[in-house]
């Protein structure tokens, strides 16, 4: 049985999109970047911590396989996690406005095999009113970088290079390869 160590509705939707049967696990791991950790290493470590925490919950099952992921928006050396509140979301979007950033998504299976997908996203220049209107929708909450590429924020994306599903939170090509042992 495959277990997804995530309660993310986007990850559940994406995993289902490739015809995978799975159950979800609720894992709680600390998502704090260490002082000596690069943004990319941080994303990989958090995904690995999640798969290990998930595996601890099902380790007694002979056929248990656990999949986990972590996705972060990175501007320069700064990791933009999920916004704390509306002001934090607006500040993130203001910083991303008119700029290019990276979205790093790491996927692990059972703590043995991992893949990383890196996408580059360029936002159009956003007016303050557009940012406020978007924050007011509430769509920004629970999303790294305070935006959902699959939602209303799609209108903000001037250019995407990389994997759309990775920006959503689960890079499907890499996930598919891992699940097939490739």
Instruction: Give the CA angle between residues 13, 6, 80 to the nearest 5°.
Output: 95
Q: Roughly how many angstroms between the first and final C-alpha of the chain, as a whole number?
A: 19
Q: How far apart are CA 145 and CA 166, in angstroms?
A: 14
The one catalytic residue among 26, 70, 77, 130: 70
Paired sense of beta strands 100-109 and 65-75, if any = antiparallel
**Residue 36 is among the residues annotated as catalytic for this protein:** no
Q: How far apart are CA 95 and CA 92, in angstroms?
A: 5
Which residues are identified as catalytic? Answer: 70
């Amino acid at each position: 049985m495959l277990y997804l160590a995530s309660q993310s509705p986007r990850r559940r939707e994406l995993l289902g999109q490739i015809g995978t049967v799975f159950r979800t696990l609720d894992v709680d791991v600390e998502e704090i970047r260490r002082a000596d950790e690069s943004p990319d290493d941080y994303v990989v470590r958090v995904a690995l911590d999640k798969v290990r925490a998930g595996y601890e919950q099902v380790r007694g099952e002979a056929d248990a396989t656990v999949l986990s992921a972590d996705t972060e928006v990175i501007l320069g050396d700064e990791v933009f996690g999920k916004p704390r509140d509306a002001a934090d979301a607006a500040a993130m979007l203001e910083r991303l406005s008119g700029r290019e950033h990276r979205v790093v998504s790491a996927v692990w299976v059972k703590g043995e095999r991992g893949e990383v997908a890196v996408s580059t996203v360029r936002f159009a220049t956003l007016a303050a009113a557009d940012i406020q209107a978007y924050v007011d929708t509430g769509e920004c909450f629970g999303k790294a970088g305070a935006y959902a590429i699959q939602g209303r924020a799609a209108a903000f994306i001037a250019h995407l290079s990389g994997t759309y599903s990775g920006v959503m939170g689960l890079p499907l090509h890499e996930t598919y390869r891992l699940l097939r042992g490739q």
